Amino acid sequence: MKRALITGITGQDGRYLAELLVSKGYQVFGLLKGQANPKAQMIHTEIPQVELLAGDLTDLTSLVRVIETAQPDEVYNLAAISFVAMSFQQPELTANITGLGVLRVLEAIRIVGGSQNNPIRFYQASSSEMFGKVRETPQTEMTPFHPRSPYGCAKVFGHDITVNYRESYGLFACSGILFNHESERRGHEFVTRKITNAVARIKLGLQNELALGNLEPQRDWGHAEDYVEAMWLMLQQDEPDDYVVATGETHAVKEFVDKAFRRAGIDDYEQYVRVDPRFFRPAEVDLLVGDASKAEAKLGWHRRVSFDDLVHRMVDHDLKVESELVSRG
Ligand code: F7E
């Protein structure tokens, strides 16, 4: 039975990845931070096979202890301060967790080691935010980075240190440069879920306005369930490498808004949308679109969920959830 440790187990990707690995027969461990973390119960209920271990990305000794206990074949580092807007408010915390956290996990792996025949394999959740003010379109594994937020800068460090540990110490370390990936489990702070939740509530008469920031930025949006499969595939290869994971399509925020309202049967939606400068960022990433040919050719990875399906699934889900809340009173 293979063993895997996931940091960021309580997040959207952590939960999908844990389910995937459990379905493949892995014993899955999740790193859980904080005392009495309220999200622990959610994991116990949703994926009872997962064993949670206490630790923190800012505490190297805790990571060493967790890796000694879990004895993983594979470590997936998904934990991060992942909300770009928040990284402008708390840049130092972001650098510490999203950036230095990667170094600490790599060090813990190096210290604990794993058996000589079976060294621990490492996956780093890198991000298209590293491309920022893009130097070329579409973006590939070779596109230079130009991050536009403390989050993007921290992710560049995480990516570079992963490559560096692979080259310096021969670690089986992979970096997945994942473009935006969303789902019915996406946090409400991210624009897609903020939109689909508001659309559902407006449809049901529970809210009458959706306040958003910049509607022009374009993103390459896929479904998270497809993307966690790419993470797993990277660690099953003969050699470690870095891969872009993306759909190759880009859509503006306002297009997502349009499709989401229309899915709920609201065509005259402009009256509900208000642009609020509070949601603008000090520096924006205007356009992202990834070229996943390498992942497709080498990993055999293909996205299954289209942009339309993604929007429809999220809106339908939120309509169901909000309707149930209404009927429960
Ligand atoms: O913003 C614009 C906002 O917060 C998307 C994270 O998973 O993907 C994600 O980062 C766009 C931006 O995601 C609002 O300015 C307009 O241009 O959903 P988001 P993100 O910043 O692209 C990458 C790949 C990651 O790695 C990150 O961890 O939407 N926008 N109005 C808004 N965004 C938010 N959140 N809220 C608004 O009201």
pLDDT of residue 37: 93
Burial-class residue 179 by CB neighbours within 10 Å (0-12, 13-18, 19+).
buried
Amino acid type, 95: A
Beta bridge partners of 4: 28, 74
Give, using CA atoms, the residue closest to atom 5 of ligand 1: 191
The 3-state DSSP class for residue 268 equals coil
pLDDT tens digit sequence for 33-57: 998 999 999 999 999 999 999 999 9
**Ligand 1 contact, 129 CB (< 6 A):** yes
84 C-alpha to center of ligand 1: Å? 7
Helical ranges in the chain per DSSP H: 12-23, 39-46, 60-70, 84-89, 91-94, 101-112, 150-169, 191-203, 224-235, 253-263, 293-294, 307-328
Q: What's the pLDDT tens digit per position in 123-159?
A: 999 999 999 999 999 999 999 999 999 999 999 999 9
Res 114: pLDDT = 67
Which residue ranges of the chain lie beneath pLDDT 70?
Answer: 114-115
Q: What is the whole-number distance in angstroms between the Cα of residue 196 and the centre of ligand 1?
A: 14
Please identify, by atom number, the ligand 1 atom nearest to the C-alpha of residue 179. Answer: 24
Whether residue 126 contacts residue 176, with contact meaning beta carbons closer than 8 Å, is answered with yes
Decide if 20 contacts 76 (C-beta within 8 A): no
Q: How far is the CA of 103 from the centre of ligand 1 (A)?
A: 25
In DSSP notation, 204-239 reads TTS---EEES-S--EE--EEHHHHHHHHHHHHTSSS
Question: Which pLDDT score is estimated for 73?
Answer: 97
ω before 38 within 30° of 0 (cis)?
Answer: no
Whether the model clears a pTM of 0.95, i.e. scores above it, the answer is: yes
Place of tokens 């560096």: 164
Ligand 1 atom with the smallest distance to the CA of 211 is: 38
Nearest to 171 by CA among 107, 78, 100: 107
Segment 71-101, tens digit of pLDDT: 999 999 999 999 999 999 999 999 999 999 9
